[in-house]
Structure 1
Amino acid sequence: MRYYQLSRRGQSILAVETDSGAYDLTSVKPDLDSFGALVRTAEITDRTPDEVAEPHLSGADTLSTEEVRETCGLPIDVDEVWAAGVTYQISEEARRGESSMPEMYVNVYDAERPELFFKSTRDRTVGPDDAIGIRADSDWNVPEPELGVVLFRGEPVGYTVGNDVSSRSIEGENPLYLPQAKVYDRCCSLGPCIATDIQDPQTLDMSMQISRDGETVYDGSTNTAGMVRTCEDLVSYYTRHNTVPDLAVLLTGTSLVPEEGFSLRADDHVTIEIENIGILSNPVVSV
């Protein structure tokens, strides 16, 4: 199932999309008005989110899939977003290429411990069709399309599409500047939904297009099979000796890296698609 967050006349609505169509779960169960409410109910009743939702769909109002996809917002009221770095070989090469201290990244790709870093809070995170930000004090800004693991109390409950927008010039100047390169207003986007029926997150096709003035200036594709680490491994390190919030997303790294010298500009448009999850599209603004 795929869960979308909608707003209609000021009311929060949890929409569910299945192979049979789209449904307004909140219309039949008003307390289930967000994915957070759904997973908390599932926890209390010792069921999965899909097991909670599925029996109610036959009585729920139907929605058009077009309306759902055109009006959905940030799919989860996330407490925090973390991210993993250097989980694909091309990411290791890009990090070493940008950095004034390339030796810092030599052993990260092959090391037992992954690179994990804090990425975003709820207030810094945007949803589908909302603007992502690039830093005005950076002259090299890039999107980073990533598979996101959605966690409830440290346990995976679904997957989403993420964009870890980053300043490569600030990060490359000094690795200690990583928080400034990663954490700022509108630095992260998530959406369009949370997919709970992904059988193997390590076999998903992923693509990214960047358009500028009506023309495509970047078009790349990859597969999550290229990850050197599993999602389970990354989650285990994120939750290790770390009190995590109820709702979190862990981004798992990128292998789609625009060529050196390419930088996002205000009014660009970034579109990311991951197989069986959906399309996350965002315009770009300077912050």
Structure 2
Amino acid sequence: MRYYRLPGGEHRSESDSLVVIDDEGDAYDLTSTSEDLGSFTELARAANASNQTIDAIARERIPEADERDLDDVEANALRPVVPEEVWAAGVTYRISEEARKAESGKPEVYIDVYESDRPELFLKATPSRTVGTHDSIGIRGDSKWDVPEPELGVVLHRGEVVGYTVGNDVSSREIEGENPLYLPQAKVYDRCCSVGPCVSTPEFVEDPHDLTMSLTIERDEEVVYEDSTSTSEMATSCEKLVDYLGRHNNLPETVVLLTGTALVPPETFTLEEGDRVSIDIDNIGRLVNDTVVV
């Protein structure tokens, strides 16, 4: 099933509501059944405490939950989960390895990573730097070459995979290309990351390595870039990335791990303020963000 976070609600006017889309495509407000189910993290805690799956807890609550309009849910969705940390993986697809080589004066660094057993992992964002669907992503004011990076996001609760979301690892290719040591500045800044529109559970996603992912960029209501790929092209599995992230690393309760991109606009393309970026992933949904200079 899929889980959305909405602002307020009849039973919790000053806080958010957790809404589930069930197997038939109907929407139910789980928070209307209990204020203890006000977020995806709280639902995950309840599942842990009862030794059940997240979907099983939701199914128990649906008969007594208030129904919600599906169009309203999608139009007003907030970040579906507020992770204490967002991490990201690099060079997990061949095309991203090629793009890194093209932008960098030290291409051998990226060849070594792509062929190595140890993946590239880096801290991408904190909660204050992460936005949801319908909010604006940022491009740095000191960069002239900026791109979105559509990625499958793995949602972890206490180190275990509990779902998947859509992520945008917005990046300055100019800064990153100047020197590999500038990677944190190319990746971490205001509004540098978006996640959403929902969290889909493993039962609903089924195989995370067999999902179609597409990217559309619009400027002045015209499509300026469009392409698609499949997560089957990943050279590193989600399981391996999660394993390495947790090694000797005391993770916070809720984490999102972005798994790398295979959709790279041409070197002649850069994001501009006002662009609209849409990312679709099978069995999860569409993450839509406008662009602002920060």
Alignment TM class, shorter chain as reference: over 0.9
| Structure 1 residue 10, shift from structure 2 partner | 2.8
> Unaligned regions of 5+ residues in structure 1, if any?
none
Aligned to 2:285: 278
Deviation string 1:101-156 (CA, Å, 9 cap, x unpaired) is 11111121121001111100000000010000000000000000000000001110
Distance 2:153 2:31 in 1: 25
Aligned to 1:256: 263
Question: Match for 1:98: what amino acid?
Answer: E
Distance 2:157 2:183 in 1: 27
| Structure 1 residue 186, shift from structure 2 partner | 0.1
Q: Secondary structure at the match of 1:119?
A: strand
- TM-score scaled to structure 2, two decimals? 0.96
| Structure 1 residue 275, shift from structure 2 partner | 0.3
Aligned to 2:228: 221
Aligned to 1:39: 44
Aligned to 1:191: 196
Aligned to 1:164: 169
| Structure 1 residue 65, shift from structure 2 partner | 0.8
Question: Match for 1:107: what amino acid?
Answer: D
Of 45, 55, 75 in structure 2, the residue corresponding to residue 70 of structure 1 is: 75
Question: Match for 1:267: what amino acid?
Answer: G
Of 228, 241, 257 in structure 2, the residue corresponding to residue 234 of structure 1 is: 241
Distance 2:23 2:37 in 1: 21
- TM-score scaled to structure 1, two decimals? 0.99
Aligned to 1:19: 23
Does 8-17 or 107-116 show the bigger shift?
8-17
**Where in structure 2 are the equivalents of 1:37-186 lying within 5 Å?**
37-186=42-191
RMSD: 0.7
Instruction: Count the aligned residue pairs.
Output: 287
Distance 1:100 1:138 in 2: 17
> Unaligned regions of 5+ residues in structure 2, if any?
none
Distance 2:14 2:269 in 1: 40
Distance 1:53 1:106 in 2: 45
Q: Which runs of 4+ in 1 moved over 4 A?
A: none
Does 100-109 or 90-99 show the bigger shift?
100-109
